[in-house]
Amino acid sequence: MKTLPDLPVAEVLGELKAALSRASGAVLVAPPGAGKTTLVPLSLLDEGWLEGRRIVVLEPRRLAARAAARRMAELLGEKVGETVGYRMRMDTRVGPRTRIEVVTEGVFQRMITGDPELSGVGAVLFDEFHERSLDADFGLALALDVQEGLREDLRILVMSATLDGTRVAGLLGDAPVIESEGRTFPVDIRHEDRPGTERIEQAVARVVRKTLAEETGSLLVFLPGQGEIRRVAEALEGRLPEGVLLAPLYGMMDIADQDRAIRPPEPGTRKVVLATAIAETSITIDGVRVVIDSGLARRPVFDPGSGLTRLETVRVSRAAAAQRAGRAGRTEPGVAIRLWRAEQTRALAEFDPPEILNADLAGLLLDCLAWGVADPASLRFMDPPPVPALDEARALLAMLGALDGRGMLTKKGAAMRDLALPARLAAMVVAAQDREDAFRRMLLALLVTERGAAGTGIDLGHRLDTALRGKGAQLARLRDIAKRAVAGMNLPQGDEIASAGAMLLDAWPDRVAKARGGRHGAFVMANGRGVALDETEPLAGEQYLVAADVTGAAREGRVTSAAAVTAEEIRAVLGDRIESVEQVEFDRQKGGLSARRVERLGAVVFSRVPVKVEPGEAATRALLDAVRTHGLGLLPWSKEVSQLRARLEWLHVRLGDPWPAMDDASLLDELEGWLAPFLQGAVNLSALDSASLRDALVLRVPPHLQREIDANAPPRFVAPTGSAFLLDYPADGTAPVVSLRVQELFGLKSHPSIAGGTVPLTLELLSPAHRPIQRTQDLPGFWAGSWAAVRAEMRGRYPKHPWPEDPANSEPTRRAKPRGR
């Protein structure tokens, strides 16, 4: 081994070795650039407890894994694949002498679940654990489970740049925490406010040009994603000083282009590296003296309500901003320019949230079930998986056929997990009918997961054609990976040819989308969510799509990858999920029902055919639904029935239970109990007359109280003349009101009442012209008191009507002048 470079972490290597010789785990906290990724694994190679076994180093990204392996091999004076190698999806370089394997976090899951004893492995190092990816959290939980149950001698080391070391140490059984202070040069933090009208790409391009003119050294520019990198590069193209190289850096680039961005610039030149958050940690970009931070990052967020995982552009955390700025002070004093106001830094979140709190947990659940753990929360996670997200994952896996009725793995579920693909894509591949079909499906899965492979267009069908027939090293590599991935599947040889859309049906049966009428590019998916494409997109004119990726709000997302599919293909693949139902609807104008037979897959409707409405339970239910929707006003309320309802409600308010409530909410809540029996055999509401409605209301009253309705709340008041007047029963339970001409009450010496004399009526006394004269609940008091004034006024206005001085002892009358007088 060559002499290891004098990097800051070297100062604590002795302490770290001593800790691992005594304990089965440790936590190392060291800032970016301290050298922990390369120096720590190399320094542990000759430790006695390792006994010649391998060290596995986990990295969050492929770029970081390759860079770390190459740097360690370089320090050993070897090539990658000898003492130091790497494993990742789509690329592996290890040999028989390999002692250090740098692997991506997802690959480690396959290693440990395939070999729970981790045969030949003496230590597992989790690098950059502060990023808290789902794979890293799960990998650590599995490693701890193995250490506890099978391998007490296994060493686990968690390394991080910014981390709550004490919390992680507690998870590892109070493991020792070693901290490396690091040696960095001072960084001058500056702020360049961006006006609200200026796009981020415009602001970045402006600040890059200004900084190149004012500062020396290379620039590292942090942008949220590949799209912003491309637009900034276009804005800077041809406008940079001589000797300045523009170098994009993101995960989906060719390896050669990534290396070009990482390598030191040629003497006499400098670089402007346009990078995503991939450059925050794990890798070192030589020659950088200035960092320009847009303050933005992309974060995957899973929405359990919509079942969609989408990338959101969010503000960086304070920890991420500090790491980005620190990249400017690696080799000399540097400058970090932030495109926001200084006071806005305080409003940033302290740390990025752990991915497990916002992720699709279907893959995690598959892996846990394969591990023999039905409840992921029983494993040692830093943050337990959220219960709603786990429930959503179980529902998805059940829909895909990966779980049985007991929630255990099916044969299909086990096959899905073996493919190391997201659950939906794994379901698509295992649905293959023959080897050629499996190859095409795997190739399509790679296109979905490898953004930018075979083009960046939305149409996955077009990209699949390009991947199948196109030339170039990248496409050839994709085809080779797909062939190797399905080589172990037990399938017959054939030439099954299915369209991209038909294949995607096995992955996203809930995202079959049908064009909406009236708006080009608008679709509704089977799960009920609306999605849209730009009107200029060729797929916008299709009748049916399968949406593989959707971003934006759940109510109407933006389709970012999809493929066309035909109705025939949907029927062929998802025929068992398509249902034919009779929909019965209410026509308010006709007061009756209409019916259609609807063939549908969730919210996607294939056909509607009118059919005759048949009496029965469905018709009754539709009529009840109509009443709930449009209100009780649809029913035949005669004056008498309306008053009966008011009387019964009055009794409920006055006397309480068991007199039933008759307000709108109560009646609508209990339609099945009182109205449904009177709608049996009906297909329209005209079959219900007012007499039936009256009986329906009365039947809500307990039988022993039905005969007391009239006794306690009579419908009418009978005046001394023998005339009967409807009583008005207020909903608040106050005294009922009767309106009648005062002459009809002559001769009445006591005040009328109801409910056994306990409730005096409110008498609204009217003039001969039926205008109100007075209201009273004390008729004898009225006769003896204010009657005289009323009589004096009324005699002059209505001289043909009787106005006796003593009405209590006068004859009542309905006429203007009593007969015989």
CATH 3.40.50.300 positions along the chain are: 8-179, 187-354
CA distance 229 to 273: 10
Q: What average pLDDT does this structure show over 632-657?
A: 94
CA distances from residue 304 to 173, 390, 528, 558 in whole angstroms, order as listed = 33, 9, 14, 17
CATH 3.40.50.300, domain 8-179, yes or no: yes
Give the pLDDT confidence score for residue 2 in this predicted structure.
Answer: 57
- Structure-model confidence comparison of residues 747 and 420, the more confident one: 747
Whether the per-residue pLDDT at 819 is higher than 60: the answer is no
89 pLDDT tier (thresholds 50, 70, 90): confident
Give the pLDDT confidence score for residue 309 in this predicted structure.
Answer: 62
Give the pLDDT confidence score for residue 553 in this predicted structure.
Answer: 63
Q: Which of 40-44, 451-455, 501-505, 750-754 has the lowest mean pLDDT?
A: 451-455
Q: What percent of the chain has pLDDT over 90?
A: 57
575 pLDDT tier (thresholds 50, 70, 90): very high
Rounded (5°) CA angle 543-545-546? 160
- Which residue has 């390896």 as its token pair? 255
Q: Please name the amino acid found at residue 47.
A: E
Superfamily of domain 187-354: P-loop containing nucleotide triphosphate hydrolases (3.40.50.300)
CA distance 304 to 554: 10
C-beta separation of 45 from 57 below 8 A: no
Radius of gyration over every alpha carbon of the chain, rounded to an integer in angstroms? 40
Q: Which of 8-22, 40-54, 236-250, 633-647 has the lowest mean pLDDT?
A: 236-250
List of residues 6+ apart from 682 with CB closer than 8 A = 615, 619, 620, 623, 688
Give the pLDDT confidence score for residue 675 in this predicted structure.
Answer: 94
Q: What average pLDDT does this structure show over 267-290?
A: 81
C-beta separation of 579 from 331 below 8 A: no
- Enter the DSSP assignment of 677: G
Number of continuous H segments (helices) and E segments (strands) in the chain = 28, 31
CA distance 101 to 118: 13
281 pLDDT tier (thresholds 50, 70, 90): low
Give the pLDDT confidence score for residue 303 in this predicted structure.
Answer: 58
Whether the per-residue pLDDT at 183 is higher than 70: the answer is no
Write the DSSP assignment of 679-733 as a string of letters: GTT-SBGGG--HHHHHHHHHTTS-HHHHTTHHHHS-SEEE-TTS-EEE-B--TT-
C-beta separation of 594 from 584 below 8 A: yes
Q: What percent of the chain has pLDDT over 70?
A: 95
306 pLDDT tier (thresholds 50, 70, 90): very low
Cis peptide before 8 (omega within 30 of 0): no
pLDDT tens digits for range 128-179? 888 888 889 999 999 999 999 889 999 999 998 766 778 888 899 889 999 8
Give the pLDDT confidence score for residue 310 in this predicted structure.
Answer: 64
Name the residue among 217, 727, 19 with its Cα closest to residue 29: 19
C-beta separation of 725 from 716 below 8 A: yes
Whether the per-residue pLDDT at 614 is higher than 60: the answer is yes
Give the pLDDT confidence score for residue 748 in this predicted structure.
Answer: 95
* Beta strands at 579-587 and 556-564: parallel, antiparallel or unpaired: unpaired
Give the pLDDT confidence score for residue 413 in this predicted structure.
Answer: 93
Write the DSSP assignment of 390-458 as a string of letters: HHHHHHHHHHTT-B-TTS-B-HHHHHHHHTTS-HHHHHHHHT-SSHHHHHHHHHHHHHHHSTTTT-S-S
Give the pLDDT confidence score for residue 715 in this predicted structure.
Answer: 95
Q: What average pLDDT does this structure show over 386-415?
A: 91
Whether the per-residue pLDDT at 257 is higher than 90: the answer is no
pLDDT tens digits for range 519-544? 889 999 998 889 999 999 999 999 99
Q: What average pLDDT does this structure show over 756-769?
A: 93
Give the pLDDT confidence score for residue 226 in this predicted structure.
Answer: 83
305 pLDDT tier (thresholds 50, 70, 90): very low
C-beta separation of 542 from 431 below 8 A: no
- Read off φ and ψ for residue 289, nearest 5 degrees: -120, -20
List of residues 6+ apart from 271 with CB closer than 8 A = 218, 219, 244, 245, 246, 247, 261, 265, 287
CA distance 696 to 624: 14
CA distance 763 to 740: 8
CA distance 694 to 638: 9
Give the pLDDT confidence score for residue 479 in this predicted structure.
Answer: 92
573 three-class SS: helix
505 pLDDT tier (thresholds 50, 70, 90): very high
648 pLDDT tier (thresholds 50, 70, 90): very high
Q: What average pLDDT does this structure show over 729-736?
A: 93
C-beta separation of 682 from 619 below 8 A: yes
Phi-psi region of 253 (alpha: psi -120 to 50; beta: other; left: phi over 0): beta
- Mean pLDDT (the chain) is 89
pLDDT tens digits for range 655-664? 999 999 999 9
- Structure-model confidence comparison of residues 630 and 5, the more confident one: 630
CA distances from residue 330 to 29, 38, 61 in whole angstroms, order as listed = 17, 16, 21
592 pLDDT tier (thresholds 50, 70, 90): confident
CA distance 151 to 137: 19
CA distance 26 to 169: 7
- Enter the DSSP assignment of 225: S
